A and B are shown apart, each in its own frame.
Chain A
Amino acid sequence: GDSVTQMEGPVTLSEEAFLTINCTYTATGYPSLFWYVQYPGEGLQLLLKATKADDKGSNKGFEATYRKETTSFHLEKGSVQVSDSAVYFCALSDRGSGGYQKVTFGIGTKLQVIP
């Protein structure tokens, strides 16, 4: 079945540091890939997505490139801010048997940015 593996946190960075959160996936079909963010006390929000190989999703300074050859979708940001402190979830969306849409999440990586 489908699965998503992402690095366990917490990740602690100083403000303006470079961020990478690794994510790899296993899927039987041709999935779409997503990063979600959960700020403290809130629900999950879509951060960015990519629907096919070599697509780059980007939003709020975050980027991730769909790498089919390495089955990866690593999240990067050049300069993090304190306000980026949150939990980040990698996810994939694929068609299950019967044609319905199935979404699979990674375990989440907690990011803490210190001033």
Chain B
Amino acid sequence: DSGVTQTPKHLITATGQRVTLRCSPRSGDLSVYWYQQSLDQGLQFLIQYYNGEERAKGNILERFSAQQFPDLHSELNLSSLELGDSALYFCASSVRGSGTEAFFGQGTRLTVV
């Protein structure tokens, strides 16, 4: 158990809909990262938050947004969903400071039908 909790584990929704994925980082971790993993696409970095502030953006679509709340949990909002958004979405967290690794949650499997 990495200590990072993601909910829900599975999500099935229709095209055009909006969903929210939730991540609770490990206790004490200030950084939260979101990644998308599609078949044959590897791990695509979406966005990073540090202590409530956005710190880095990767290949995140404009239809997607995220935020980190004062209690450090984070939510990833996906709207106007398309079939191609079907993927595993991972959240990871890390502490501030050098030499620290990221700890991953088990992921949310999103299926858009």
Binding site for B on A (CB under 8 A): 30, 32, 34, 36, 42-46, 49, 51, 89, 91, 93-96, 98-105, 107-108
Contacts and interface: CB of A to CB of B under 8 A. Distances in A.
Nearest to A29: B98
Contacts of B45: 104-105
A94 to B, nearest CB: 8
B56 A93 contact: no
Contacts of B24: none
Interface in B7-47: 30-31, 33, 35, 42-43, 45
A93 B98 contact: yes
Contact of A100 (B2, B96, B99, B105): B96
Given A98-B55, A101-B31, A107-B42, A43 B96 contact: no
Interface centre among B2, B30, B99 (most CB of A within 10 A): B99
Say which size band chain B's interface belongs to: 20 to 34
Contacts, number: 72
A45 B104 CA distance: 7
Given A43-B90, A44-B90, A108-B43, A101 B106 contact: no
B48 A102 contact: yes
Contact of A43 (B2, B42, B51): B2
A83 B73 CA distance: 34
B87 to A, nearest CB: 14
A99 B98 CA distance: 9
A42 B102 contact: no
Lowest 10 A-B CB distances belong to which pairs?
Answer: A51-B99, A107-B42, A100-B50, A44-B104, A32-B99, A43-B104, A103-B102, A43-B106, A108-B42, A46-B101
Given A30-B98, A32-B98, A43-B90, A100 B55 contact: yes
A13 B93 CA distance: 33
